[in-house]
Structure 1
Amino acid sequence: MFYRTLAVVAALFAFGNSAIAQTADKEGGLYAKVYGGSSTLSNTDLQIGGTRTKGKFGGGALAGGAIGYDYAGPWRSELEYTYRSSSLNSLGGVAASNSDYASTSIMVNGLYTFNEAGSFKPYVGLGFGLTREVDFDLNAGPTANRGQYSRASMFAVQGIAGVEYEFAEDWKGFGELRTFSVNSPSLRGGGRTLKADYRTTDIVIGIARKF
């Protein structure tokens, strides 16, 4: 899944590079960006069939890309594609391994930038969209409950706070803190149902190019 995500990110960036640059000017227009970082999944209760237990998660990662439009003012909008994954550390207090909870999402973001005239430009944003897939590879706990659980097309929301810096003409670096949430997804696999909240805190760094 991670390599498919990288392929989508590369396609997004290539599309932005070939977009109609003549419609953009120095103050606004089209841009593309790529990013990566850490994704920390909140500990949550897991319900597998009639069994309820506690899942604790460790570090994770994310990668993504976006195509956006700057409206020559404080407002921007973006279409993004992002992959997130976090490993399961323990299940019901027992150490777990080779298990992870992951998602891919397509989001539409609205961003508002402060201090437009400054070198460092802080911004905030809100995004809404759908998951392409939420996937739990469970290889811990009772053998009967192990397996792959997944579901597509669930509503997702995220909040964004970041800062960007233009380090060369038409190029910017940025860092962000994000929260991302899919509320209590009900996943299916092997004739069983798994329910577990999916809420992450993300630290993101990336680069953007204006066209």
Structure 2
Amino acid sequence: MFYRTLAVVSALLASGGTALAQTANNEGGLYAKVYAGSSTLSNTDLQVGGTRTKGKFGAGTLVGGAIGYDYAGPWRSELEYTYRSSSLNSLSGVAASNSDYASTSIMVNGLYTFNEAGNFKPYVGLGIGLTREVDFDLNAGATANRGQYSRASLFAVQGIAGVEYEFAQDWRGFGELRTFSVNSPSLKSGARTLKADYRTTDIIIGIAKKF
């Protein structure tokens, strides 16, 4: 799935480059945006050493920013940096506290916008990238399994659906629904290993400015 996504996003960015070469007007150009929202981490099985448990997570938070290029048409590309964090609510039905599962990621996104002439512009996109870190602070369950588990440079993929509204010259507000996934990361704390899926559903609002 990851390799198919890579091919699709590469095609999106290549198409955007063609649009840039064929179009020259003042509508395109660089832009920057910031955003925040909720990030809901899917419940998942955890394996810590030889122990298997079920982890349930509460609603988390997300914050990030991106620099992008609008190709004066339906295509855009972005480089983004995003932080996500979700609290662990329980392990195998037993309440947990002071534990969270978090990530920071650097993603390249390809976006396609519909209704380019209107003020409300829906869009879809795909992103690929790497995590700077995936980190599980586990302070619940068996004492021997507790600790800070982490790993860097894991492959990540995301899907994006959103709508933006241009409320002033060069300024846009937007809302997005995203799915973000790191495929079954294996995290380390010294000689110990923790495995748990990292898949989130994100609801985002933000603001963007063209330059």
Fold shared per TM-score above 0.5: yes
Matched residues, percent identical? 90
1:178 maps to what in 2? Answer: 178
**Aligned partners of 2:190, 2:93: CA distance in 1, in Å?**
24
TM-score under structure 2 length normalisation? 0.88
1:135 equivalent in alignment to 2:135: yes
Alpha-carbon offset, residue 191 of structure 1: 1.6
Q: Deviations over 1:142-192 (max 9, x none)?
A: 000001000000000000000000011100000000000001000000320
**Matched AA of 1:178:** R
1:73 maps to what in 2? Answer: 73
**Aligned partners of 1:147, 1:167: CA distance in 2, in Å?**
47
Map residues 47-58 of structure 1 onto 2, 5 A cutoff.
Answer: 47-58=47-58
SS in 1 for 2:116: coil
1:124 equivalent in alignment to 2:129: no
**Aligned partners of 1:145, 1:70: CA distance in 2, in Å?**
48
SS in 2 for 1:26: coil
**Matched pairs, number:** 188
Map residues 131-210 of structure 1 onto 2, 5 A cutoff.
Answer: 131-210=131-210
**Aligned partners of 1:26, 1:43: CA distance in 2, in Å?**
46
Alpha-carbon offset, residue 128 of structure 1: 0.2
Alpha-carbon offset, residue 115 of structure 1: 0.2
Unaligned runs of 5+ in 2: 1-23
**Aligned partners of 1:185, 1:25: CA distance in 2, in Å?**
45
Alpha-carbon offset, residue 25 of structure 1: 5.6
1:88 maps to what in 2? Answer: 88
Of 24-33 and 36-45, more deviation after overlay is shown by 24-33
SS in 2 for 1:27: coil
**Matched AA of 2:167:** F
Q: Deviations over 1:109-156 (max 9, x none)?
A: 000000001110000000000000000000000000001000000000
Q: Deviations over 1:59-87 (max 9, x none)?
A: 10000000000000000000000000000
Instruction: Kindly indicate whether the alpha-carbon contact (under 8 Å) linking 1:147 and 1:190 is maintained by their aligned counterparts in 2.
Output: no
**Aligned partners of 2:165, 2:95: CA distance in 1, in Å?**
42
Q: Deviations over 1:22-63 (max 9, x none)?
A: xx9631000000000000000000000011110000010000
TM-score under structure 1 length normalisation? 0.88
Q: Deviations over 1:2-39 (max 9, x none)?
A: xxxxxxxxxxxxxxxxxxxxxx9631000000000000
Unaligned runs of 5+ in 1: 1-23
SS in 1 for 2:188: strand
Cα RMSD, aligned residues only: 0.9
Alpha-carbon offset, residue 92 of structure 1: 1.2
SS in 2 for 1:67: strand
SS in 1 for 2:144: helix
**Matched AA of 2:149:** Y
2:12 maps to what in 1? Answer: none
1:106 maps to what in 2? Answer: 106
Instruction: Kindly indicate whether the alpha-carbon contact (under 8 Å) linking 1:61 and 1:85 is maintained by their aligned counterparts in 2.
Output: yes
